[in-house]
Chains A and B, each alone.
Chain A
Amino acid sequence: MSGNATLPADGLIAVVKRDCPTCVLTAPVLAELAVRDTLAVFTQDDPTFPEIVADRIDDTALDASHRLRIEIVPTLIRMEAGREIARTYGWDRAEWERVARTDGIGAGLPASRPGCGARNVEPGILENLKVRFGETGITARRVELGRAEDEAEAMFERGWSDGLPLVAPTEERVLRMLQGTTRDPAEIIGLAPPDLAPATVEKIAINAVMAGCKPEYLPVVLATVEAVLDEPFAMHGVLATTMYVGPVLVVNGPVRQRIGMNALGNALGQGNRANATIGRAVQLVIRNVGGGRPREVDRATLGNPGKYTYCFAEDEEGSCWEPLSVERGLAPGVSAVTAFAGYGLQGVVDQKSRTPESLSRSFAECLKSIFNVKLAPACDAILVVCPEHERTFRDAGWSKRRLYEELYRLCEIPGEDLIAGAKGIAEGGPATLAGTTINKFRPGGLMVVRAGGGAGMFSGIIGGWAASGGRGSSPVTKEVRS
Chain B
Amino acid sequence: MADLESRGIPTVGVATTEFIEAAAVQAKSLGTDPAYVFIPHPVQDRTDAELRALAEEHAERILGLLGRG
Contacts and interface: CB of A to CB of B under 8 A. Distances in A.
Establish whether A and B are touching in the complex (CB under 8 Å). yes
Nearest to B30: A146
A99 B31 CA distance: 54
Contacts of B28: 146-147
A148 B2 CA distance: 12
Interface string B23-55: 000001111100000000000000000000000
Nearest to A148: B29
A148 B32 CA distance: 11
B6 A147 contact: no
A296 interface: no
Interface string A132-159: 0000000000001111110000100100
A157 B32 CA distance: 10
Interface string A109-149: 00000000000000000000000000000000000111111
Residue of B6, B29, B31, B32 with most partner-chain A CB within 10 A: B31
Contacts of A157: 6, 31
Contacts of A149: 29-31
Residue of B6, B29, B30, B32 with most partner-chain A CB within 10 A: B30
B11 to A, nearest CB: 15
B44 to A, nearest CB: 28
B67 to A, nearest CB: 21
Interface residues of B, number: 6
Contacts of B6: 157
Nearest to A143: B31
B8 to A, nearest CB: 13
B48 to A, nearest CB: 37
A145 to B, nearest CB: 6
**Chain A: number of interface residues, binned into ranges:** under 10
Contacts of A148: 29-30
Nearest to B2: A157
Contacts of B32: 146
Residue of A146, A154, A157 with most partner-chain B CB within 10 A: A146
A148 B30 CA distance: 6
A149 B2 CA distance: 11
A147 to B, nearest CB: 4
B58 to A, nearest CB: 28
A214 to B, nearest CB: 29
A118 to B, nearest CB: 38
A154 to B, nearest CB: 7
A224 B6 CA distance: 33
Nearest to A154: B31
A146 B31 CA distance: 5
A432 B28 CA distance: 67
A83 B53 CA distance: 73
A154 B32 CA distance: 10
A154 B31 CA distance: 8
Interface in A354-375: none
Contacts of A154: 31
A144 B29 CA distance: 10
Contacts of B29: 146-149
Contacts of A146: 28-32
A61 to B, nearest CB: 28
A145 B6 CA distance: 16
A148 B31 CA distance: 8
Contacts of B31: 144-146, 149, 154, 157
Nearest to A156: B6
Nearest to B6: A157
Nearest to B5: A157
Interface in A147-206: 147-149, 154, 157
A147 B31 CA distance: 8
Nearest to A145: B31
A149 B28 CA distance: 10
A476 B1 CA distance: 47
Nearest to B26: A148
Contacts of A147: 28-29
Nearest to A149: B31
A157 B30 CA distance: 10
A295 to B, nearest CB: 13
A154 B30 CA distance: 9
A220 B20 CA distance: 50
A459 to B, nearest CB: 43
A157 B8 CA distance: 12
A293 to B, nearest CB: 15
17 contacts: A144-B31, A145-B31, A146-B28, A146-B29, A146-B30, A146-B31, A146-B32, A147-B28, A147-B29, A148-B29, A148-B30, A149-B29, A149-B30, A149-B31, A154-B31, A157-B6, A157-B31
Interface of B: 6, 28-32
Query: Nearest 9 A-B pairs (CB), nearest first?
Result: A146-B31, A148-B29, A146-B29, A147-B29, A146-B30, A149-B31, A148-B30, A145-B31, A146-B28
Given A146-B31, A146-B32, A149-B30, 14 more contacts: A144-B31, A145-B31, A146-B28, A146-B29, A146-B30, A147-B28, A147-B29, A148-B29, A148-B30, A149-B29, A149-B31, A154-B31, A157-B6, A157-B31
